[in-house]
Structure 1
Amino acid sequence: MTRPLVQAQIPVDDRGLAYGDGLFETVLVRDGEPLLWPQHMARLARGCRVLGIPMPASDELDGLPALAGPGLQVLKLVLTRGSGGRGYLPSPSATPRLLWQLSCFKPQAQRWEAGVRVRHCHLRLGSQPLLAGIKHLNRLENVLARSEWNDHEVAEGLLCDSQGNLIEATCMNLFWQRQGRLETPRLDGCGVAGTLRAGLMERLSITEVSTGPEVLMEAEAVWLGNSLQGLWPVERLDTADGVLQRRWTLVDLHRSVQREAHELLGYPTDFGN
């Protein structure tokens, strides 16, 4: 087994380790070329502005994907504020720390074809508009939500915020079609604005909406997606207690949106039904 190419050494006083004071990106790299790189860099830059961490120089970042070489790999970037500062107050002289890792990757291609079973989660996401959309290092809510089930047949869990608005899955964004209109949750209070989501919204007419999970009972099709796995059509939805709530038959509607997503990532676009 090939060991991942990694550059990572974190002292115990690093603020990312101690407080989650930092950001991360996971980038799909194909034969040394990063996919959705402008979207990843735009989100990282926005996160830097929000947290007040200097953005690494472009020449420092742009050369990293080329180290991957041939094949499909994932480049994980971690940017922390660095070390220093007593308690929560950051030191104005802290030097940001950029860490990275490259590792081989194989997407779960069977889920493209067969679709996935998902469930609702009991956990509710807290609202913090200042941090909404960015990929900061404090992901404890996602960890706790993902711990709610161990059934390998359940691919993902859907999360609402404390007001009952549908937001995302534990590590994927959510899309559906209702009355012929493509929609995705509005992420102005919490959630991660994924780079595949951004890419799809540039290509397709997708409306951001604030709505509860009951919207999925009206949907003609539902998808989950991120920049590593591509787009999974949902074929079954369960309650948080594992009771069947809804099924979908996968049709060409599902595949048409999948094709748009997979063209962005270089994944297959020919699906059977």
Structure 2
Amino acid sequence: MSPEREHTEAAATSEAWPLDDRGIGYGDGLFETVLVRDGKPQLWEAHLARLTWGCRVLGIPLPQRDMLERPLSQAGRGLAVLKLILSRGSGGRGYAPPAAPTPRLRWQLLPFAPAPARWASGVRVRLCRLQLGIQPALAGFKHLNRLENVLARGEWTDADIAEGVLCDSEGRLIEATCMNLFWQRNGHLETPRLDRCGVAGTLRAELLERLPMSEVDAVPDVMASAEAVWIGNSLQGVWPVARLDGAEGEVLNCWPIGAEHRRLQAVAHALLGYPAWLDD
């Protein structure tokens, strides 16, 4: 049995939420989803940095580090995913937040298995009809209001489609519904600029530090004409894109998965403890 399959204990969760919690009522809070390997959180400093950023923007006190790390004591061997949810807590009147918030931290720890077939063979993705609203004040970090992503993910039911690609309301490429976007154009690595909307993933942040990659404004035609395309996050790793469909199902481009795809994948997967790819 592989280490990834050894984590078989039941899911662990913290206590339930009260109905007057502002995270439930208004999405007034933040979350992080963290890959845990043998009890050790992967890219942990990057997750803490993003959570700290979100707390600063929203004005929510950041819990002590030991509180955030306490759930890790319940992680067993193999892979798990830790979801941390931090709300402003209860209180305030209507939308007005309390003057002195008492944050509420909740968490869930679940066994996790990635999708190695998608590492090896690549995936099919589609453009979404939904466009993300532009709100620079909320761009980058993981706030609790993800209804745009929910609506976008509801656009397809075809199991052969792994992800949907989102643009903002001005037509610029931003992200996939739960992953970041990367492509190679004219030999250069690029990823969408995320200063207007979207989530700045922790794996994306690490790749930007390690590789000669540029943040750019781009439209879908750029991705369709790229030499290689990837989607990735800190849980699943990097999936090469083998086929891009339009919102109506038309094929916009296909890519044979080759050495160019493997170079980015190898750097990303080394950060997460995953193989660069698996043989058929």
The two structures have a TM-score, normalised by structure 1, of: 0.98
SS in 2 for 1:44: helix
Structure 2 residue 130 is the aligned partner of structure 1 residue 123? yes
Task: Give the counterpart letter for 2:19 in structure 1.
Answer: V
Structure 2 residue 9 is the aligned partner of structure 1 residue 7? no
User: Following TM superposition, by how much is the alpha carbon of 1:158 offset from its aligned partner in structure 2, in angstroms?
Assistant: 0.3
- CA distance in 1: counterparts of 2:261 and 2:278, whole angstroms: 10
- CA distance in 1: counterparts of 2:241 and 2:105, whole angstroms: 36
Structure 2 residue 4 is the aligned partner of structure 1 residue 17? no
Unaligned runs of 5+ in 1: none
Moved more, 62-71 or 26-35: 62-71
Structure 2 residue 96 is the aligned partner of structure 1 residue 82? no
Match of residue 178 from structure 1: 185
User: Following TM superposition, by how much is the alpha carbon of 1:269 offset from its aligned partner in structure 2, in angstroms?
Assistant: 2.3
Match of residue 243 from structure 1: 250
Task: Give the counterpart letter for 1:193 in structure 2.
Answer: A
Task: Give the counterpart letter for 2:226 in structure 1.
Answer: A
- CA distance in 1: counterparts of 2:38 and 2:224, whole angstroms: 41
Query: What's the Cα RMSD here?
Result: 1.1
Q: Which runs of 4+ in 1 moved over 6 A?
A: none
Match of residue 166 from structure 2: 159
- CA distance in 1: counterparts of 2:176 and 2:243, whole angstroms: 14
Moved more, 141-150 or 63-72: 63-72
Structure 2 residue 116 is the aligned partner of structure 1 residue 109? yes
User: Following TM superposition, by how much is the alpha carbon of 1:2 offset from its aligned partner in structure 2, in angstroms?
Assistant: 4.0
- CA distance in 2: counterparts of 1:210 and 1:233, whole angstroms: 21
Unaligned runs of 5+ in 2: 1-7
Match of residue 50 from structure 1: 57
Change in 2 beyond 3 A, CA 1:115/1:270: closer
- CA distance in 2: counterparts of 1:64 and 1:188, whole angstroms: 32
Residues 255 and 271, structure 1, Cα contact 8 Å, conserved in 2: no
- CA distance in 2: counterparts of 1:172 and 1:142, whole angstroms: 11
Cα deviation digits, residues 95-144 of structure 1 (max 9, x gap): 10000111000001110001000000000000000100010000000000
Change in 2 beyond 3 A, CA 1:125/1:104: same
SS in 1 for 2:152: helix
Cα deviation digits, residues 43-98 of structure 1 (max 9, x gap): 00000000000011112113332321211000000000000111100111331000
Task: Give the counterpart letter for 1:98 in structure 2.
Answer: L
Cα deviation digits, residues 189-211 of structure 1 (max 9, x gap): 00000001011111111100011
SS in 2 for 1:130: helix
Match of residue 5 from structure 2: none
- CA distance in 2: counterparts of 1:73 and 1:92, whole angstroms: 37
Task: Give the counterpart letter for 2:109 in structure 1.
Answer: L
Task: Give the counterpart letter for 2:85 in structure 1.
Answer: V
SS in 1 for 2:138: coil
Moved more, 66-75 or 241-250: 66-75
